[in-house]
Amino acid sequence: MQVASSLNSYKMENNSQAGILRIFVSSTDQFRQSPLYEFIVFQAKKEGIAGATVLKGMLGYGASSVIHSYKFWEVSEKVPTVIELIDEEDKLLSFYEKIKPQLEMMKYGCLATFDTTTILMYKSGEKKLF
């Protein structure tokens, strides 16, 4: 069974191989007065990447060894944030090269990883019309 989005040419097949690009940033990282994670997701959609998800962490630390956590009384919510992108390996690595300059500009650093995975199920849902 093949399922394809009308916005991209990649047909994700069940039981097929795909790549996952993960970019670890802070929820407060900005690019052009917008959250960095929003910039990356919108660019991924524009480039036809098959899927993107942003995950906000509760607690974590990175290269700086400073622990960041969510506390409801804090004014700014500075928490670890992971942007996961899934598509074909070549397409993801090409996309990474396009956004790499923005990632290199991040004052407090970031981390990007790439893994291969197996698509167990990919099923499009029905769009709701409002």
31 within domain boundaries: yes
7 within domain boundaries: no
DSSP sequence for 93-117? HHHHHHHHHHHHT-TT--EEEEEEE
Q: What is the residue range of 51's domain?
A: 18-117
Q: Is 26 helix (H, G, I), strand (E, B) or coil?
A: strand
- With a CB cutoff of 8 Å and minimum separation 6, the contacts of 121 are 14
57 within domain boundaries: yes
9 within domain boundaries: no
48 within domain boundaries: yes
Neighbouring CB atoms inside 10 A of 3's CB total 14
Span 8-54, pLDDT tens digits:
445 678 888 999 999 999 888 999 999 999 999 999 999 999 999 99
Q: What is the CATH number of the domain that holds 98?
A: 3.30.70.120
4 within domain boundaries: no
Span 45-98, pLDDT tens digits:
999 999 999 999 877 777 776 776 666 555 557 788 999 999 999 999 999 999
Domain count, the chain: 1
11 within domain boundaries: no
Whether the model pTM is above 0.85: no
Neighbouring CB atoms inside 10 A of 62's CB total 16
With beta carbons less than 8 A apart as the criterion, state whether 22 and 115 touch.
Answer: yes
DSSP sequence for 32-43? TTEEHHHHHHHH
Give the whole-angstrom CA distance, residue 60 versus residue 68: 6
